[in-house]
Amino acid sequence: MTKRKLGKTDLWVSELCLGTMQFGWTADEALSFQILSASFDAGINFLDTADIYSRWVPGNPGGVAETIIGKWLKRSGIRREQVILATKVRGRMGDGADDEGLSRAHISKAVDASLRRLQTDYIDLYQAHWYDDKTPIEETLETFDELVRAGKVRYIGCSNYPAWRLMQALWAADKHGWARFDTVQPHYNLVHRDEFERELAEVCRVYELGVIPYSPLAGGFLTGKYRRDQPADSVRLGGVRGYFNDRNWALLETLDGLARERGASLSQVALAWQLSNPLITSPIIGPRTLEQLRDNLGAVGLRLSAEEMARLDQASAWEM
């Protein structure tokens, strides 16, 4: 699988990033191990997780996905440097005052806990999961910088940051000579374009940030799993139902047509739409089964023509 340079870092990552939110939720430990091994064998070297995955599941205290990755890495015999590990900090991981947020106290405690669960002595990419308006950006960045200097973290990034907050962070890092955010993890797909494209995209282009979008298949909507006037049942239905409108049903019809022309699945065409954009580094897939993984892998190397990109852009266009 072709590797891509992650922004201005020296990290070279696979075209697809394996997301792990489903580990310990819709995929148990045994299945998670199978997905990890099959992904690595297929050439995926980039794993994305977070300390809170998946704390919303009854009986899950958080940290389960990181723990599964750590166990798999030890048992697999794969050398640590063969895998790019990315995790995130921000969410609540306990009941104490310092058990959430982006304060020095929480980050310092959370990074050590993530390192223990991942069974490693460094994290390749440590990301702020979403911004914390109760903590000065300088406190967050200085703490991240100290982690980089200590060797616990190689690079830092952010997720779910609006453009103004990202620019504030880049300015503060430049002013103080601290490590800066080198990546952005936005919510981005064919039915959710404006949040990234309105302002964030240009910031990433100008400052050469790596872009690793999450939910590139819109929670399964862009797989064709949901259809107009057909009953649907899924653990993620609540988050997907908002896409059920005439505009997006028409988009699925356009995807159907392109998929038939290219001999590909809807998922593969939706992923190819991102992979054909030079601004996008590595979309994050979240397969819950080996079958879904195999389908997603079919997007590797698939590129859309300018005419095909224009068809999808027009079918999913948003207004300024």
Is the Cβ–Cβ distance between 48 and 89 less than 8 Å?
no
Query: Residue 312: inside a domain, yes or no?
Result: no
Q: Which of 14-23, 96-105, 121-130, 229-238 has the lowest mean pLDDT?
A: 229-238
CB count, 10 Å around CB of 263? 8
Query: Residue 308: inside a domain, yes or no?
Result: no
- CATH number where 212 lies: 3.20.20.100
Which residue range is the domain that position 38 belongs to?
A: 3-218+279-287
What is the tens place of the pLDDT at every residue in 70-119?
999 999 999 999 999 999 999 999 888 889 999 999 999 999 999 999 99
Percent of the chain with pLDDT over 70: 97
In DSSP notation, 160-190 reads S--HHHHHHHHHHHHHHT---EEEEE-B-BT
Average pLDDT of the chain to the nearest whole number = 95
What is the tens place of the pLDDT at every residue in 170-218?
999 999 999 999 999 999 999 999 999 999 999 999 999 999 999 999 9
Query: Residue 135: inside a domain, yes or no?
Result: yes
What is the tens place of the pLDDT at every residue in 253-287?
999 999 999 999 999 999 999 999 999 999 999 99
Query: Residue 254: inside a domain, yes or no?
Result: no
Catalytic residue among 53, 131, 214, 226: 53
Q: Active site includes 53?
A: yes
Output the pLDDT for position 238: 60
pLDDT class of 227 with cuts at 50, 70, 90: confident
Query: Residue 87: inside a domain, yes or no?
Result: yes
As a whole number of angstroms, the distance between CA 155 and CA 148 comes to 7
Query: Residue 228: inside a domain, yes or no?
Result: no
DSSP 198: T
In DSSP notation, 232-252 reads ---TTHHHHGGG-SHHHHHHH
In terms of pTM, does the model score above 0.85?
A: yes
Closest CA to 259 of 216, 227, 297, 302: 302
Q: Which of 1-5, 224-228, 236-240, 300-304 has the lowest mean pLDDT?
A: 236-240
Tokens of 192: 């959710």
Q: Give me the mean pLDDT over the 155-168 stretch.
A: 98
Helix 64-76, helix 29-41: angle, nearest 10: 60
Instruction: State how many domains the chain has.
Output: 1
Query: Residue 40: inside a domain, yes or no?
Result: yes
As a whole number of angstroms, the distance between CA 92 and CA 110 comes to 10
Query: Residue 161: inside a domain, yes or no?
Result: yes
